[in-house]
Structure 1
Amino acid sequence: MAKAGRAAATWRAYQEVSRPGSPGLLTRVRALPRMIRSSMRGDFPGVSRGKLGMFGLAVAYIVSPFDAIPEFLIGFGVVDDFGVFLWLMTSLLGASGQYVQWERAGMPRGGAAPTAMPRSGAAPRRKSR
Structure 2
Amino acid sequence: MVKAGRAAATWRAYREVSRPGSPGLVARLRALPRMLRAGMRGDYPGLTKGKLAMLGMAVVYIVSPIDVVPDFLLGIGVVDDFGVFLWLMTALLGESGRYVDWETEGVHRTIPGRASRR
With normalisation by structure 1, the TM-score equals: 0.83
* Conservation of the 8 A alpha-carbon contact between 1:61 and 1:81: yes
Task: State the Cα distance separating 1:32 from its structure 2 match.
Answer: 0.5
| Largest Rg, 1 or 2 | 1
In the other structure, the counterpart of 2:85 is 85
* Conservation of the 8 A alpha-carbon contact between 1:43 and 1:110: no
Gaps of 5+ in 2: none
In the other structure, the counterpart of 1:6 is 6
Task: State the Cα distance separating 1:109 from its structure 2 match.
Answer: 7.7
Aligned equivalents of 1:8 and 1:61: distance in 2? 22
In the other structure, the counterpart of 2:16 is 16
CA RMSD of aligned residues (A): 1.5
Task: Specify the code of the residue in structure 2 equivalent to 1:43.
Answer: D
Q: Tell me which stretches of 4 or more aligned residues in structure 1 moved more than 3 Å.
A: 109-113
* Conservation of the 8 A alpha-carbon contact between 1:28 and 1:97: yes
Q: Percent identity?
A: 71
In the other structure, the counterpart of 1:44 is 44
Aligned equivalents of 2:40 and 2:57: distance in 1? 16
Task: State the Cα distance separating 1:107 from its structure 2 match.
Answer: 2.5
* Conservation of the 8 A alpha-carbon contact between 1:17 and 1:25: yes
Gaps of 5+ in 1: 114-129
* SS of residue paired to 2:21: coil
Superposed CA offset, 1:10-45 (max 9, x none): 000000000000000010011001001111111111
With normalisation by structure 2, the TM-score equals: 0.90
